[in-house]
Structure 1
Amino acid sequence: MPLKPRPKHLDEMRPWNDKAQVLECVQVLTETRDVKTFSFLAADDSWFRYTPGQFVTFELPMPGGAMLRTYTLSSSPSRPLSVSVTVKAQNASVASRWMLDNVTPGTRLKAYGPAGIFTFHNHPADKYLFVSAGSGITPMMSMTRYLFDVGQKTDVSFIHCARSPADIIFRSELERMAARVPDIDLAWIVEQPDALDGWTGYKGRINALMLELIAPDYQEREVFCCGPAIFMQTVRDILNAAGFDMSRYHEESFSAPVDGEGALVESAGPLETLPQEGAAAKIVFKGSGVEADCLETDTILKIAKEIGLNIPSACTFGVCGTCRVEKISGEVHMAHNGGISEDEIEEGFILACCSRPIGRVEVDV
């Protein structure tokens, strides 16, 4: 029987580049009755560089055709040899159900990322409040694992809401971490206790009184929130009613981004490159040898789809970063929402879903 190759040191490996795209599932762990964690290695033997709280987008080979779906990384970059996503079987989600039923060790999937701005690296503070519900716990887990691994003395108050104690994802691991360090304070809120199992914690749904009891100093904390839309709206309402400084409130959502008061956020680009209504433009898709006349108010993704070119895309409003393409020449107005980094922009990349051509533009598609 051949011996396994010697594990490589990190300095013998390259950072993963999603242009290589392929990840291989190496482990599947059951977390709760309807939640599994999938761990992946890079097929080209590279390591992963990202910030805790970011996400990846998978291309899933569904029976009706490939489908792109975005999942937050529950793993921590302090453990860079693999990445993990934790997937819950949502009632209406065909993609998540497919993941749970079909992804096993050895399965290879195309992936894009990591991307996203929902990370405490962008908002350094001495004290944090993490508030999550359901599978919204995943970015909080990534950030908490990172803080625990690096040994930073950072005060974290962690509130998680679930249907029942049996539905609390990562419960055992979080309780072990909290038992070993004084800086992680946990509180669970469940809608109902499990049958034949005594529950002495909080019951019901999160409200202002619970928040005051669990984290009486929450006004001093940087708040990160993730969960179903109605849950995040409830948290925003509680904080707004209490006069919380909403500039210190951050939420993760894969729908159109909103500000602290729930209003739609539209990112603004440089004024000198604003597209003009009715102004003519041209997009040259260099890799395909195709040109298309359009208007400056059209997005590159829209025109590509109209002429039959496939640019992978998921969110379509500049969050997920899946539609990143290289701009060869010309100028665009790009109003993104965190799906591309400043370094990538400097290298010449744009997001096709939210980039509009100013005059003539060439892209590598």
Structure 2
Amino acid sequence: MNMMVQGTSVVGTVPSALPLDQIGPWNSARQMLVCSNVIDEAPDVKTFTFVVEGGGWFSYMPGQFITVELRAKGGDLHRTYTVSSSPSRPYSLSITIKAQINSIGTRWMFDNVKPGSRIRAYGPSGHFTLARNPGNKYLFISAGSGITPMMSMLRWLADCAPGTDVVFLNSARRPEDIIFREELELFAKRMPNLSLGFLPEARSAANPWAGLMGRIDRHKLAMLAPDFMSRELFCCGPDPFMKAVSSIVRAEGFDMGHYHQESFGATSIAESVHKQAQDVATKGKATGLTVSFLGSGEEKVCEPGQTILETARAANVRIPAACESGICGTCKVLKRSGEVEMRHNGGISDQEINAGFVLACCSRPTSAVEIEA
């Protein structure tokens, strides 16, 4: 006999199907996620599906991401993963991740997260979504696991607006590395205005291929999306791939106000954050200023150029952080008093700033500061 646990799905249980108005949305500050399923999608690619522990539903925009906390052997890790599921199906949430050769966090998830596993997560966050940048017709162009936010947006369109005009392009190393290929081909049969284009870089004996091949260029883009100049364009993938796409469309005179790309902790941003720290230190700001961490009762003098996050670590105060570049929003904390200089990269909204929140990774005190941490 199956045990019934309201709102959760673990090994040997069946989730409750209460209406949304009878249960609350997931609160990442106090509710854990429970893994309900793990699926192999492609070589070294898995989808992990979660439900809310104790019951709940997920409120997010297609294309956003969450940050997961992993209790690895060497200490807690925080990793940012795009949600691949659609908010039109709010009882569960999925992330689809690829383990690279030097992956630590992702390999830990592959080895340790099974149905029934409990995971702490934060979010959702992010501005890479068609909800914030609507268009009459779309071009989703991705490489490798950069397909995940595109899949979230396409799944939402398939459920809520299946007649939408979408060109969906994905580059991969080999045909078998194309993530979600079968589901995308099924969508193409059910969405009359969906056009698919796959670009593997190499052939494979395991999976014959007769279509276009090679890296994205102006010629291939024009073949697969002849009217790309008039589309709302979303791009996600490795940094060299996104640079190539942006260079191609920019050279054609594309209105870059309709170009959107997703990047977590890109090198250029990390370098910019480091330069900001040097500039602040040079100006002598933050010298001898005290940061009080109200939740833990600790105080620490902030060294010149140091961020609140760096000061917290020096005081052994734990503030979750992932990208450390002002992008993901994981290190968001409430500032009770004092002033800071914050130079973020989209990881916090104006409403949150007005409410007193700051990102610890990119905020440097300009006076004594009190923080809820």
1:194, 1:288 → 2: CA distance?
Answer: 56
- 2:301 is matched by which residue type in structure 1? D
Cα deviation for residue 106 of structure 1 reads 0.6
Q: Does 1:193 align with 2:193?
A: no
- 2:110 is matched by which residue type in structure 1? L
Cα deviation for residue 191 of structure 1 reads 1.4
2:227, 2:122 → 1: CA distance?
Answer: 39
Q: In the alignment, which residue of structure 1 is the partner of 2:329?
A: 321
1:357, 1:60 → 2: CA distance?
Answer: 30
- Structure-2 change in CA distance of 1:222 and 1:70 (3 Å): same
SS in 2 for 1:130: strand
1:57, 1:156 → 2: CA distance?
Answer: 29
Q: In the alignment, which residue of structure 2 is the partner of 1:277?
A: 283
Cα deviation for residue 340 of structure 1 reads 2.1
Cα deviation for residue 7 of structure 1 reads 2.0
User: What's the CA shift string for 1:235-270, capped at 9, x where partnerless?
Assistant: 1222222222223222111123869xxx9877xxxx
2:181, 2:20 → 1: CA distance?
Answer: 31
2:237, 2:197 → 1: CA distance?
Answer: 16
Between 331-340 and 57-66, the greater mean CA deviation after superposition = 331-340
2:229, 2:271 → 1: CA distance?
Answer: 24
Cα deviation for residue 207 of structure 1 reads 1.1
1:302, 1:166 → 2: CA distance?
Answer: 43
2:203, 2:282 → 1: CA distance?
Answer: 58
2:326, 2:24 → 1: CA distance?
Answer: 27
Cα deviation for residue 363 of structure 1 reads 0.7
2:164, 2:348 → 1: CA distance?
Answer: 28
Q: In the alignment, which residue of structure 1 is the partner of 2:122?
A: 112
Q: Is the 8 A contact 2:70 2:119 kept in 1?
A: yes
- 1:324 is matched by which residue type in structure 2? K
Cα deviation for residue 332 of structure 1 reads 2.4
Q: In the alignment, which residue of structure 2 is the partner of 1:292?
A: 300
Q: In the alignment, which residue of structure 1 is the partner of 2:69?
A: 59
Q: In the alignment, which residue of structure 1 is the partner of 2:317?
A: 309
Q: In the alignment, which residue of structure 2 is the partner of 1:203?
A: 213
Q: In the alignment, which residue of structure 2 is the partner of 1:179?
A: 189
- 1:361 is matched by which residue type in structure 2? V
Q: Is the 8 A contact 2:162 2:191 kept in 1?
A: no
Cα deviation for residue 328 of structure 1 reads 1.5
Over aligned residue pairs, what C-alpha RMSD do you find? Answer: 2.4
2:114, 2:206 → 1: CA distance?
Answer: 34
User: What's the CA shift string for 1:117-158, capped at 9, x where partnerless?
Assistant: 111222111121111111110000001011111126432111
Between 23-32 and 349-358, the greater mean CA deviation after superposition = 349-358
Q: In the alignment, which residue of structure 1 is the partner of 2:370?
A: 362
2:366, 2:311 → 1: CA distance?
Answer: 14
- 1:325 is matched by which residue type in structure 2? V
Q: Does 1:32 align with 2:42?
A: yes
Q: In the alignment, which residue of structure 2 is the partner of 1:70?
A: 80
Q: In the alignment, which residue of structure 1 is the partner of 2:222?
A: 212
Q: In the alignment, which residue of structure 2 is the partner of 1:270?
A: none
- Structure-2 change in CA distance of 1:169 and 1:195 (3 Å): same
TM-score by length of 2: 0.89
SS in 2 for 1:173: helix
- 1:56 is matched by which residue type in structure 2? I
1:190, 1:95 → 2: CA distance?
Answer: 27
SS in 2 for 1:230: helix
User: What's the CA shift string for 1:164-197, capped at 9, x where partnerless?
Assistant: 2211111111111111122211111111233165
2:32, 2:255 → 1: CA distance?
Answer: 42
Identify unmatched segments of 5+ residues in structure 1.
267-273
- 1:333 is matched by which residue type in structure 2? E
Q: Is the 8 A contact 1:275 1:358 kept in 2?
A: no
1:133, 1:310 → 2: CA distance?
Answer: 35
Identify unmatched segments of 5+ residues in structure 2.
7-15, 274-279
Q: Is the 8 A contact 1:36 1:88 kept in 2?
A: yes
2:267, 2:166 → 1: CA distance?
Answer: 25
- Structure-2 change in CA distance of 1:185 and 1:315 (3 Å): same
- 1:292 is matched by which residue type in structure 2? K
Between 352-361 and 111-120, the greater mean CA deviation after superposition = 352-361
TM-score by length of 1: 0.91
- Structure-2 change in CA distance of 1:258 and 1:196 (3 Å): closer
2:66, 2:244 → 1: CA distance?
Answer: 27
Q: In the alignment, which residue of structure 2 is the partner of 1:45?
A: 55
1:44, 1:334 → 2: CA distance?
Answer: 36
- Structure-2 change in CA distance of 1:152 and 1:166 (3 Å): closer
Cα deviation for residue 64 of structure 1 reads 1.5
Match of 2:355 among 298, 323, 347: 347
Q: Is the 8 A contact 1:87 1:100 kept in 2?
A: no
Q: Percent identity?
A: 51
SS in 2 for 1:36: strand
Q: Is the 8 A contact 1:282 1:361 kept in 2?
A: yes
SS in 2 for 1:203: coil
Q: In the alignment, which residue of structure 2 is the partner of 1:146?
A: 156
Aligned length: 356
Q: In the alignment, which residue of structure 2 is the partner of 1:271?
A: none
1:335, 1:145 → 2: CA distance?
Answer: 34
